[in-house]
């Protein structure tokens, strides 16, 4: 427990340092843009492939339940709502954690044990500004881009599977979506994706930046980055769901039921 709290404190301090550096930094856009393109391109094929099958799986599961109550007309809305609210943000963040998060932790960890980070600092350059901020911003922004792509692919894949295997007309599938999806739902999905992407970026950069102990230390940093990232995302998923529900109820009470 003490080790966990120590790590949590270190991650929090590192996050605040990165944010302060990012706010004060100028002229870093080329490196940030390069990281956004790199992270998005590395993860695009995985997100598209996973999105298709996640949408298909949800359609099959919801279809079995709705057919029992002769409510297949609701399949499109329920399936899309589940993808946008929960499955999409969480799935894409897990993919980022396993692919980009581990890669970033290993990359920065290798730089640390080979003293490249120390060399950058000796040259008078802030390593947080030069090495960490571009990777941090790249992961966060890419998570939002990949979320939009993943959601579109999942919904289209769901529609195709629903028409092919569940005898649900694509038009009927699409017509039920607005009943369950509104601006608040989309905003909640984007907010969750931003939070999860921030967790992936912070933990992976922190564990890589603070790695020690040679090659074994880099491997340990990558493993712990994956463990802490998944743990924090599960906890934050519960917290963000509760916060969004509370905010929505407050808005509805103030506006008289209209969000």
pLDDT digits (tens, 9 = 90+) for 191-212: 988 999 999 999 999 999 998 8
Q: How many domains does the chain have?
A: 1
Kindly indicate the confidence band of residue 1, based on its pLDDT and cuts at 50, 70 and 90. low
Q: Largest Cα–Cα distance in the chain?
A: 70
- Average pLDDT across the chain, whole number: 85
> CB neighbours of 174 closer than 8 A, spacing ≥ 6?
76, 159
- Tell me how far apart the alpha carbons of residues 102 and 52 are, in angstroms, rounded to a whole number: 24
Domain of residue 226, residue span: 2-255
User: Is residue 257's pLDDT more than 80?
Assistant: no
Residue 16 confidence (pLDDT): 92
Query: Over pLDDT 70: what percentage of the chain?
Result: 98
Mean pLDDT confidence for 207-225: 88
* Range name among 16-20, 54-58, 200-204 with the lowest pLDDT average: 54-58
Residue 125 confidence (pLDDT): 81
Residue 259 confidence (pLDDT): 54
Q: What does the pLDDT look like over 73-104, one tens digit per residue? A: 778 888 888 888 877 788 888 888 888 888 89
Of the two residues 4 and 109, the one the predictor is more confident about is 109
Residue 207 confidence (pLDDT): 92
Residue 195 confidence (pLDDT): 92
User: Is residue 153's pLDDT more than 80?
Assistant: yes
> CB neighbours of 177 closer than 8 A, spacing ≥ 6?
76, 77, 80, 155
Residue 200 confidence (pLDDT): 92
Segment 169-173 long-range contacts (CB within 8 Å, at least 24 positions apart): 172/73, 172/76, 173/75, 173/76
């Amino acid at each position: 427990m003490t080790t966990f709290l120590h790590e949590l404190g270190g991650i929090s301090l590192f996050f605040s340092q990165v944010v302060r550096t990012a706010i004060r930094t100028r002229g870093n856009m080329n490196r940030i843009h390069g990281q956004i393109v790199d992270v998005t391109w590395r993860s695009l094929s995985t997100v598209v492939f996973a999105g298709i099958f996640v949408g298909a799986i949800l359609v099959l599961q919801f279809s079995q339940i709705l057919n029992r109550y002769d409510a297949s007309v609701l399949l499109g809305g329920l399936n899309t709502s589940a993808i946008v609210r929960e499955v999409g943000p969480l799935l894409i963040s897990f993919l980022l954690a396993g692919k980009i998060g581990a890669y970033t932790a290993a990359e920065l960890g290798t730089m640390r044990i080979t003293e490249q980070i120390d060399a950058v600092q000796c040259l008078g350059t802030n390593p947080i500004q030069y090495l960490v901020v571009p990777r941090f911003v790249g992961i966060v922004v890419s998570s939002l881009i990949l979320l939009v792509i993943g959601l579109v692919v999942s919904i289209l894949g769901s529609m195709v599977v629903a028409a092919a295997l569940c005898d649900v007309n694509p038009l009927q599938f699409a017509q039920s979506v607005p009943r369950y999806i509104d601006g608040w739902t989309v905003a909640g999905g984007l907010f969750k994706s931003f939070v999860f992407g921030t967790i992936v970026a912070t933990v992976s950069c922190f564990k890589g930046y603070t790695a020690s102990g040679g090659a074994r230390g880099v491997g340990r940093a990558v493993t712990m980055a994956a463990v802490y990232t998944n743990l924090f995302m599960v906890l934050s998923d519960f917290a963000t769901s509760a916060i969004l529900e509370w905010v929505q109820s407050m808005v509805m009470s103030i506006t008289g039921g209209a969000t």
